[in-house]
Every structure is written in C-alpha cells, then in structure tokens.
A = this chain, B = another copy of it.
Amino acid sequence: MEEKKNRLKLTAISGFPEWLPEERMVELRMLDSIRSTFERYGFTSIETPAVERLDVLLAKGEAEHEMYKVERLAGAEDSHEAKFGLHYDLTVPFARYVAQNFGALDFPFKRYQIQDVWRGERPQVGRYRQFKQCDIDVINVNKLPLSFDAEVPAIVFEALAGLDVGEFELHLSNRKILHGFLEGLGIEQVLEATRILDKLEKLGPKAIEAMLQETLRLPTDTTQHCLEIATICRADESFSEAVRKLGVQNKLLDQGLEELTALLKNFRELSPGKVFADLSVTRGFDYYTGSVYEAKWLTHPALGTVAAGGRYDNLASKFSTQTLPGVGMSIGFTRIFGKLVADRSLKKTQKCPTQILVSYLDQAGSQRARQVAQVLRSRGFSVEVYYEEAKLTKQLQYANKKGIPYFWFETDSAVKNMSTGEQHPADPYSWTPEEPIIE
C-alpha cells in the first residue's frame, strides 16, 4: 500500500520524443542509410560531447536559440570551473572541435556528425526540444574549391532519397546575388533589406513591399526590383538571364551568378536530384557567405525546410587564428521522422530484429533448440529461442505478433515462412531464406 502511494504518475515530457521499438527499428535503419551515404563519399564521423562551455555556445554574440544550461544537482561547480550548456546545433561544436584539434586533422577535412541537439523552446507541433541532426561539412585552410558547393547538396539529396519516404527537392542560391543586387540598386541597408525579403514566403509580396517601403523608405520601382529578383526560381541556368534582365550592374552580383551557374552544372554531373536556382533562399541571419541550400519534402511542403546549409568564409574565427572556409549542410532528421510517426505513415515491419524463432516442445528439445540457434547465429542470422515450454500454436502466435519472418521447428528440422505459410525441411548449417531478409 505504501509503495502504491509513492508511485509516480508518468507523463511524456513534452518536446522530448521517444519511439516504440517498431518505430525505433525504422529510425535506426534510416540513420544507418544516411551514415552509409555520407561514408560512401569519404566523410568521416566525429562526435562531440552533449555539452559545450557556455562561452563557446554564446560566442556568436547573440543567443539565437534558446539554450539549456547544465549544472550539478548537488550544488554549483567550483567557481573556477567552466559553465556548461547543451549544444543547440552541430556547427558550433564542429567549429570548436576543428580549432581545438587543428594540428591533428588532415585538410580538407570532411566530417559527418549524427547527434542529438537541444533547444529550450516552447514545444509545438513538429518542433522538438531534443532532436537529431545529420550534418556534413567540408572545411579547408585558406581556400576551398567550389566543386564542394555541388558535392555537399548532391550527397544530402542522395541521403534524403535513400530514406524512401517520398520526393525531395533542393532550392539553391548564392548570397552574393541578392547582396550584390541590392548594392547595385543603391540600397545602403543591405542586411535589413535581406532580412525583410527572407520573410517573403511567409508573409507574401504585398506585406514585404509595404515593409520595404516603410522601414527602408525605398521608392516603388526599387521595391519592385527587390520582389522580382526574390521570386526568380528556375530549374536551369536561365535564372541568370532573368536577373540580367532586371538591368542591375554589380561585381558581387556577377560573381554570385557565376558561382550559382557553376554549382548547378556541377550538381547535375553528380546527381539526378530535382534542383532549382531559387533566389528567395537566403538562410536568414546565419554565417553563410556564398552558396545557400534548402531542401523541401514534396510530400509535406507545409513542414518547410527539412535540410539546409551553405558556404562560409571562416567558420571558426572565434576560436582559431586560421582562416577556415567551408561548406556544409544539415538534415533535420527528427522533423522528417517525427512527421512520419505523427501521420502513421511509417513503414513498420517488425517489433524486433529477430529473423528466426526456434521453437521446442520439451526440456531435451530446449537444449537442441539452443544449439540450432547458435549455429544460425554463427552464420550471421538474428535468432531467438522461444523462452519457455509451450504449445506450438502459442509459439507461432508469438512469432506472428512480433513480425518474425521465419519459424524453426526443432522437432522436425523444418522452417516455416511466416508470410507465405510454406514449410520446408532445413539444416541450420546450410539453410538460406528464399529472399533476403529485411534488417
């Protein structure tokens, strides 16, 4: 009775997702697939601790993201010890890692990082406080070839396509285009204008036009030009001509158009991915300085951007005396996976990785069943022995409920295919499934 009184009422912690075994199996398979794509392009894994020093997390100047701090429950750390927080992305830890281990790394350094990140936001549908990101970045010393600007989104496209959850498309731009264009128009507050144009998709052209006119006091023909360039979205190199037609001359603009044209061409050599030169893409207030990328999931356009990234001139300026240009992209994995779970559209197959359930009927059979199982395991199969003496029907029900594809009769040395119902004699040393087993 007393124990009952002390029992805790459990409720899910809002914003911290957790999956059932059959969902987790799919999540693992998808994460494996992403990792395998990253590795096929020679990217190497790093993992950084969940925590970073608060001064590192805050080094960007403004706390863009709500952060979690971490402290000993028993009391404050010694005053000379650093204060920690949970990382809110994988880019800041990566920059710190490269600066800290600079002498031990080989450049260009191509790394991937698949980890949880934490943000102390008020949770809402499709937003999480803990979620997985899958990042790739290439970083080099002083100079990084433009070819990587195409390789990175091509790899991410392949990784997304490999999830087998519908179509994705990539929207690419180059920050130099909009910056140069706005400069060429004689706009002095280029950053402010970019910030306003970044909201075009959300607020619509009318609202943006009003904001440009009111906040920046731009004349009507200038705001018209701004809206025209921001709505250029082409599947081929014709975007460049469309920009030229607007009649603005600027060197940075020229450079941006040239880079984006090369990026499109290089991308097509690498990937069959559906891709657009989309001049509305600016990636907000991030540290990007050239190419910028956004990926959209065509099955769920309302979900917005599910992967994003770009090129930066110098990632680790707060931590390193080296100039370290790079290009990278991040997949918001939990955004995608959480949506599949919420919509009940996850292709679940099994509740456990077991491929073969070995049955037995009595104590002597139990020992033989265990031997059969060990032989099958030594050949790489995932095998369970049924856990107690029980009637065959009960054992078959168990296999069925858990989605185990093959059922082994120890008594008859025979195997039943649970989906076709067919049954054949079998030897544990030589048996192979008719078709490759998933997982």
Report which A residues bind B (CB closer than 8 A): 3-4, 6-8, 10, 12-13, 16-21, 24-25, 27-28, 39-56, 59, 63, 66-74, 82, 84-86, 96-97, 99-101, 104-106, 108, 110-111, 116, 118, 120, 130, 140, 145, 147-148, 269-270, 317-321, 351-354, 366-367, 370-371, 374, 377, 380-384, 387-388, 398, 401-402
Contacts and interface: CB of A to CB of B under 8 A. Distances in A.
B97 A18 contact: yes
Contact of A7 (B20, B85, B321): B321
Contact of A47 (B24, B42, B56, B140): B24
Contacts of A54: 73
Give the 6 A-B residue pairs with the shortest CB-CB distance, closest first: A42-B384, A42-B354, A16-B49, A72-B120, A44-B352, A39-B353
B74 A86 contact: no
A147 B387 contact: yes
B28 A130 contact: no
Given A40-B383, A48-B18, A13 B82 contact: yes
Given A3-B317, A4-B321, A51 B21 contact: no
A63 B73 contact: yes
What number of copies of this chain does the assembly contain?
A: 2
Given A46-B24, A353-B44, A387-B145, A53 B13 contact: yes
A20 B44 CA distance: 10
Contacts of A63: 73-74
Given A49-B16, A51-B16, A148 B387 contact: yes
B20 A104 contact: yes
B73 A66 contact: yes
Contacts of A55: 8
Contact of A43 (B140, B352, B381): B352
Contacts of A73: 54, 63, 66-69, 85, 120
Nearest to A4: B321
A19 B44 CA distance: 12
Given A50-B86, A110-B384, 8 more contacts: A10-B319, A41-B383, A42-B352, A44-B353, A49-B130, A63-B73, A68-B71, A70-B70
29 contacts: A6-B318, A8-B318, A8-B319, A10-B56, A10-B96, A10-B99, A10-B319, A17-B49, A24-B47, A27-B47, A39-B353, A40-B381, A42-B354, A43-B353, A51-B130, A54-B73, A63-B73, A68-B71, A68-B73, A69-B72, A70-B86, A73-B85, A74-B120, A106-B401, A110-B352, A140-B387, A145-B388, A147-B366, A270-B370
B10 A28 contact: no
A400 B430 CA distance: 42
A177 B110 CA distance: 56
B12 A383 contact: no
Contacts of A44: 21, 24-25, 351-353
Given A69-B70, A116-B50, A382-B40, A45 B59 contact: no
A296 B82 CA distance: 35
A46 to B, nearest CB: 6
B351 A106 contact: yes
Contacts of A354: 42
A135 B353 CA distance: 16
Find the residue from A381, A383, A387 having the highest chain B CB count within 10 A: A387
Nearest to A72: B120
Contacts of A51: 13, 16, 130
A234 B74 CA distance: 42
